[in-house]
Structure 1
Amino acid sequence: MLTAMTARTNKAVMKNPVDKSRKWLILTLIFAVSYGLILANLPIDVFKDRDNYLNYVLNSEIIFGVNASTGLLTLFANEPLWLLLNVLMKQVFEPEQAIRFYIFVSATIFSFLFLRKDPGNIVWLILFLFVPQIIKNYIIHLRQGVAVSVFFIGWALASSKKGWMVMILAPFIHASFFFVLIFLVLNKFVTKLRLSGVLRISIFFVVSLLFTLSVGYLATAVGARQANEYTFSAEGISGLGFIFWLAILLVFIMQGSGFIKKYSFEISVLVFYLCAYFFIEVSGRVFESVLFTVLLTGLTMKRWGKPAFLFLIFFYSIFSYVLRFGQPWLGFGV
């Protein structure tokens, strides 16, 4: 009888972690769906760039045809998957419904995967979802939000070929991910070479400078829409963002060579952003596409590093919102 009671107790103990994991999964899903629903049900016509996205739903078939007639290089350089998604949306939804669908699906997927990454830091992860550079992907930069969500699915499966196949789709939704994939491949390369932390940062710095100097020419050469939309300069910037993210980079580097090697991709995108900050405005879009990886990395630091990182992020976010007070919808509105 004692043996039977012990067996039942052991089974209960074994079931408990499973039950806890299931409850946590449900709670995370509820929060993610709520996050997506709230953002998707905000007014359609009060935010920046909404006319542009309505136009995509209505005219993507025409845009796709024009790009295809110009050549395959131009077609693939101008986010064909995004255009095809809009062609599909037009068959199913009204333009405003399509926008709400994009916001809901992408915000829900992103927040769910993000919150599942580090349950031990759930409070900070929830706060990170409201960092201006994160939430703007589901309020004004909707195409980027869709691409980030697709990339994150692949990132979660990065150890498999399926993960890479999914991540490769992201640049065809938002072109910033071409740079992201290049740095991912570069990171794989320096990892195989087993280079020291200093050498890795040096390589990232040189490659970042080369991209900074050539991105305008590359965009023009392949016929990317960005060649007409951006000046590939960085006029009117305050430099506050540079100082803040430089501080974050220094905190990362001071964690030591082992940390640099383990998180060299996240460090590489920080280096790129800082190198390009004063030269090309698109650097911010590239960095924001993978900002979530930097935030997750900051939570892994030990000793003084993590508190310093959290203080900087919290201060920067609050300061960003304070600067937006008085602007329509905290700077996201028109």
Structure 2
Amino acid sequence: MLGLSKNNLGNLRLDVKIHPLVSFIGIILFLTIGILLSTRNLDIAKDDHNYLSYFYYRKFEEADSFLIYLIEEPLWRLYTTSIVAVFKPENALRFTLFISTLMFLFSVNRVNVRMFIFVALIFILHSHFATQMYFNQIRQGLALSVFLFCTIYNRKPLLGAVIATLFHTSFIFPLIIIFLISKVNSVKWIIIYSIIGIGILYLSVNVLGQLDIGRRTNSYSFESKLSVNFYISIFLRYIPLLFLMKFYGDKGTSSFWYKLSLSSFIIIVPFTLFYLAAGRLMYYVSVFFLLMILEQSRSLGGKLGLLYYILFLIVDLFLFESTVISDWGLIISS
């Protein structure tokens, strides 16, 4: 239920073997990253105090409709009001950071356990990961981690997406995309339906504005206002990866992660043009493309794709106004 068809069960991860000692090193590396992110001072990230307030004050929003109730992320509210029975508010937030970080690292690494060094490196250096979703946008990171765990370990992406949506409303869009690709096998029709989907979103933007995705549109908009340089960078970053996987990957377009990356790109990138709150959906796109590469990392396309992905991380660090290094400085020094 809410999983993939039997024909697609193998298109989520590689079942490869690794020496126990190497596996132990990977575990220690991931634990170290989790400890660093969860033991930092809780006043250095922009939204730390906002998140602490969830644990200090048991917030319940009155909802006029079931839709509004869902938008207010009931599982997140249930989680924050329950965990304080076990931990003090500060420790509850630290526990959340630790668990969500480990869920991300172990789940992504499970796609190809031999790539744990690359997984750790990308997680640390990517501006959307360690110093964003697992530093500042903690709720979004937790939702993503829940989805990844359910998908990669339990092979139930639809169920994972439903649960993730109840933690963070923004995951409603990946949920719709995952439902689409679970019903359509042809890449041609995935592209067609994705284009139709972005048209529907464009026509529905006024409704989305009224709902306000949890009434947080302004806080979800990109500070850069999504300039022309942003879109040039996005196309240069992701389009070559799709071609590499299609023509030189060992699974090509049959991969679940390929279909998810392709459809997400087609829908989410144009969505940012007319809806600012869609900016943070690009975090999901970054993860989906990474998983697509890791799954096919034994092929020429996967190897080239991984190098290309890391190349853009380096470009981000030194040519764009990335705060990754300075954020890690704050984390380590605190």
TM-score class, shorter: 0.7 to 0.9
CA positional deviation for 1:39: 0.7
CA distance in 2 between counterparts of 1:125 and 1:252 reads: 20
Q: 1:33 to 1:328 in 2, by over 3 A?
A: closer
Deviation of 1:165 after TM superposition, in Å, equals: 3.2
Q: 1:1-334 counterparts in 2 under 5 A? A: 21-59=19-57, 61-62=58-59, 64=60, 66-68=61-63, 70-130=64-124, 131-135=126-130, 136-157=132-153, 159-160=155-156, 164-191=158-185, 195=186, 197-218=187-208, 220-221=210-211, 224-226=213-215, 229=218, 236-247=225-236, 248-253=238-243, 255-256=245-246, 259-262=252-255, 263-289=258-284, 291-299=286-294, 300=296, 305-306=301-302, 308-322=304-318, 323-324=321-322, 329=327
Decide which moves more: 117-126 or 145-154. 117-126
Q: Report Cα offsets for 1:256-277 as digits up to 9, x if no partner.
A: 4872343211211122232123
Partner of 1:7: none
Contact (CA 8 Å) 1:252, 1:259: kept in 2 or not? no
Compared CA separation, residues 116 and 159, structure 1 to 2 (3 A): closer
Query: 1:180-225, CA deviations, whole angstroms, 9 ceiling, x for partnerless residues?
Result: 110001111221xxx3x3442232122123224424513525x742
SS of structure 1 residue aligned to 2:227: coil
Does the 8 A contact of 1:147 with 1:171 survive in 2?
Answer: yes
- Within 2, Cα distance between the matches of 1:326 and 1:152? 23
1:16-39 deviations in whole A, cap 9, x for unaligned? Answer: x98x55444433322221111011
> Helix, strand or coil: the match of 2:85?
helix
Give the direction of change, closer, same or farther, for the CA distance of 1:232–1:79 in structure 2 (3 Å limit): same
> Is the contact made by 1:48 and 1:332 (CA closer than 8 Å) also made in structure 2?
no
Provide the rounded CA distance (Å) in 1 between the counterparts of 2:281 and 2:197: 15
The Cα of 1:230 is off from its aligned counterpart by: 5.8
Query: How many angstroms apart in 2 are the aligned matches of 1:219 and 1:121?
Result: 41
The change in CA–CA distance for 1:332 and 1:305 in structure 2 (over 3 A counts) is farther
Deviation by residue 1:132-185 (Cα, 9 ceiling, x = unmatched): 11211111110011111111111114545xx54343211011111111110001
Identify which range, 255-264 or 125-134, moves more after superposition. Answer: 255-264
In structure 1, what is the Cα distance between the partners aligned to 2:106 and 2:20? 14
Aligned-partner Cα distance in 2 for 1:89–1:289: 26
Aligned length: 305
**Contact preservation (8 Å) 1:57, 1:95:** yes
Unmatched runs of 5 consecutive residues or more in structure 1: 1-16
Q: Which runs of 5+ in 2 are unaligned?
A: 1-15
How does the TM-score come out when normalised to structure 1? 0.79
User: How far did residue 239 of structure 1 move?
Assistant: 3.1
Any conservation in 1 of the 2:169–2:214 contact (CA below 8 Å)?
no
Partner Cα separation in structure 2 for residue 43 and residue 148 of structure 1: 23
CA distance in 2 between counterparts of 1:216 and 1:320 reads: 34
- Using CA pairs below 8 Å that are at least 6 residues apart, which structure has the higher relative contact order? 2
SS in 1 for 2:28: helix
Q: Give the distance between the partners of 1:277 and 1:216, measured in 2 at CA.
A: 14
Measured in 1, the distance between the counterparts of 2:141 and 2:152 equals 16
